[in-house]
């Protein structure tokens, strides 16, 4: 809560002090502590349910009408929390979307400062290629893509596939630390291994 000084209107010196603060772009903490550090958190985000039975048909329709490739980069449809005033964020710190990749399609490589995860909900047969390492994506998989790693996706099947993307876009945007770079028009390795190099190196016990 905002806590103004009740005596400001009665004290010309205090009123002038606040005016001088404002002219120098200064804010006294004692009038704003409740706004900056509230007793309990308050979020503008509201509870909302996006049903897969609704999302997937809409993504399918986009698959028939919107190409994937340079320009939009990804056929991804963001979940916009209705409490956040129209920004494409599912929460104040997370951007999430359904991404749809049609049969034999390739999402070109790029990299960005934002970190990402992918949770596969529907289908299999897509490989995400992260810094040249193809990783199979199957239903139920949860995959992490670190920031500033080149990555693209390719679908080697005759069936579409969809998954949920999550990125820390709001946090990176708020901290003014966003970078983006285009990569290859295709993926740098279009092989389809059952096990990625990263899994062979790290997916076992030991030091």
State pTM to two decimals. 0.86
- For every one of its 207 residues, what pLDDT tens digit does the chain have, with 9 covering 90 and above? 455 555 666 889 999 999 999 999 999 999 888 888 889 999 999 999 999 999 999 999 999 999 998 767 899 999 999 999 999 999 999 999 999 999 999 999 999 999 999 999 988 999 999 999 999 999 999 999 999 999 999 999 999 999 999 999 999 999 999 999 999 999 999 999 999 999 888 887 766
Query: For the chain, which residues make up each domain, given as ranges?
Result: 1-42, 52-202
The CATH code that applies to domain 52-202 is: 2.60.120.10
Q: How far apart are the C-alpha atoms of 17 and 144, rounded to whole Å?
A: 52
In residues, how long is the chain? 207
Q: Smallest Cα–Cα separation from 141: which of 167, 168, 162, 155?
A: 162
In this structure, the dihedral spanned by the alpha carbons of residues 198, 200, 201 and 205, taken in order and rounded to 10 degrees, is 120
């Amino acid at each position: 809560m905002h806590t103004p000084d009740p005596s400001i209107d009665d004290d010309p010196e205090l009123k002038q002090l606040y005016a001088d603060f404002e002219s120098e772009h200064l804010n006294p903490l004692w009038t704003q502590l409740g706004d900056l550090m509230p007793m309990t958190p308050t979020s503008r985000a509201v509870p909302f349910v996006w049903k897969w039975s609704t999302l997937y048909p809409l993504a399918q329709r986009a698959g028939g009408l919107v190409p994937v490739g340079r320009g939009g980069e990804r056929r991804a449809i963001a979940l916009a929390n209705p409490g956040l005033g129209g920004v494409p964020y599912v929460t104040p710190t997370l951007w999430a979307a359904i991404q749809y990749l049609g049969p034999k399609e390739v999402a070109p490589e790029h990299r960005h400062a934002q970190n990402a995860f992918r949770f596969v909900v529907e289908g299999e047969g897509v490989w995400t290629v992260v810094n040249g390492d193809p990783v199979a994506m199957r239903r139920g998989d949860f995959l992490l893509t670190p920031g500033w790693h080149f990555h693209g996706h390719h679908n080697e099947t005759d069936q579409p596939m969809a998954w949920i993307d999550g990125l820390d876009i709001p946090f990176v945007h708020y901290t003014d630390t966003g970078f983006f770079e285009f990569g290859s028009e295709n993926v740098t390795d279009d092989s389809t291994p059952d096990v990625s190099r990263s899994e062979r190196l790290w997916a076992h016990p030991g030091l």
